[in-house]
Amino acid sequence: MASELMEIHPRELKFTFEMMKQSLCSIELVNKTNHYMAFKVKTTSPKKYCVRPNIGILDPKTSFNFTVIMQAQRVAPTDLVCKDKFLVQCAVVPEGTTDDDITSSMFVKQVGKLVEESKLKVILVNAQQSPVSLPMNGTPKQVTTPDDSARKDQVTREVQNVTSKQITYDAKNIDEKPNIMENNVERGSLQSKIEKHQMEEVMHTESKAGNDAQKLKLVKDLHEMKLKLNDFESKLREAEFTIAKLTEGRRELIQEKEILQQELTTMRNTKAIRKVQVGFPPLFVCMVTIVSIALGYLLHT
């Protein structure tokens, strides 16, 4: 069925398989509509592949590239046949939607929602075919780079120079026998130069592939470090919040303790005052006694 929302190039993920080495593949998504589009990439083997990024938002009539990294493998599959598959989901979203707003429910097919899914196969290519690309119609196709073209031009010029020298030599010495040994030496030198250039081409290609893999690994390590740093900062903020909360609780407990101590002191003082006020004061008793004696004496007289 033809794609109505998004085009995907290519429709197959091709990885150069080499033991204990990573391989990557780039996929282009094209938004064919006049709407904003959210996409999400899934795989049947999430531990084997790393997709960067696996979600995103595409503006209308724009394209976007995401990279799929196949982790280093210790065991080669039989005949390099891989049954892994990828699923690319896309759905129309409102303008202003961000990557953080993307959820799995956006890609659930419902009446009235524009949702589309595309399945991608995985193809493994033997690393020994490099720098030769995948066979097309049974015939391998040589990958040509600007450096390769320059080396080929140089080799062609050397062949032409050797040929012109040989013709000049034959014209001047038409009556003389050519020196077969010298010709063989010259041809051997030319052959060695050609082999040397071919070896340099292979080494250059392998070096370039190694540099790309190293750069990709550095990017991946940097991304993982950023994720760990963000997680550490989040945990640090949580710890600071917990410490602040505990400090506030301790301050409240101290205040409550001081209030209780003040109330206890007040209760003790009140109890002591009440204890002092129990019974008649001694001065009052003495005065009553003296007045009683005086009244008794007056009454008897």
- Quick: pLDDT tens for 74-99: 988 888 899 999 999 999 999 999 99
182 belongs to a structural domain: no
Question: How many residues in total does the chain contain?
Answer: 301
State the average pLDDT over residues 161-170.
48
SS3 category, 301: coil
Q: Which residues of 267-276 are buried (b: 16+ CB within 10 A; e: fewer)?
A: eeeeeeeeee
Structure tokens, 107: 């890609």
pTM over 0.85: no
CA-wise closest residue to 90 among 33, 10, 51:
33
Q: How far apart are CA 212 and CA 25, in angstroms?
A: 12
**Which range among 26-30, 63-67, 289-293 shows the weakest confidence by mean pLDDT?**
289-293
Structure tokens, 187: 């041809």
50 belongs to a structural domain: yes
Burial of 88 (0-12, 13-18, 19+ CB in 10 A): buried
The pLDDT > 70 percentage for the chain reads 69
Give how many domains the chain has, as a whole number: 1
pLDDT score, position 222? 86
Sequence-distant (6+) residues with CB within 8 A of 45 are: 84
Structure tokens, 191: 């052959």
State the average pLDDT over residues 50-58.
95
pLDDT score, position 233? 85
Are the CB atoms for 202 and 131 separated by under 8 Å?
yes
164 belongs to a structural domain: no
26 belongs to a structural domain: yes
Q: What is the CATH number of the domain that holds 118?
A: 2.60.40.10
- Residue 237 clears pLDDT 80, i.e. is over it: yes
CA-wise closest residue to 187 among 199, 178, 175:
178
pLDDT score, position 138? 36
118 belongs to a structural domain: yes
- Band of pLDDT at residue 232, cut at 50, 70 and 90: confident
State the average pLDDT over residues 166-171.
46
Are the CB atoms for 193 and 158 separated by under 8 Å?
yes
161 belongs to a structural domain: no
CA Rg, the chain, in Å?
Answer: 46
Residue whose pair of structure tokens reads 């030599």 in the numeric block: 169
43 belongs to a structural domain: yes
State yes or no: cis peptide before 94, omega within 30 of 0. no
State the average pLDDT over residues 155-170.
50
Q: For residue 35, what are the domain limits?
A: 6-129
Higher confidence at residue 146 or residue 15?
15
Q: How far apart are CA 247 and CA 235, in angstroms?
A: 18
Are the CB atoms for 58 and 36 separated by under 8 Å?
yes
Answer positive or negative: Cα dihedral of 228, 233, 234, 240: positive
The amino acid sitting at 293 is: I
40 belongs to a structural domain: yes
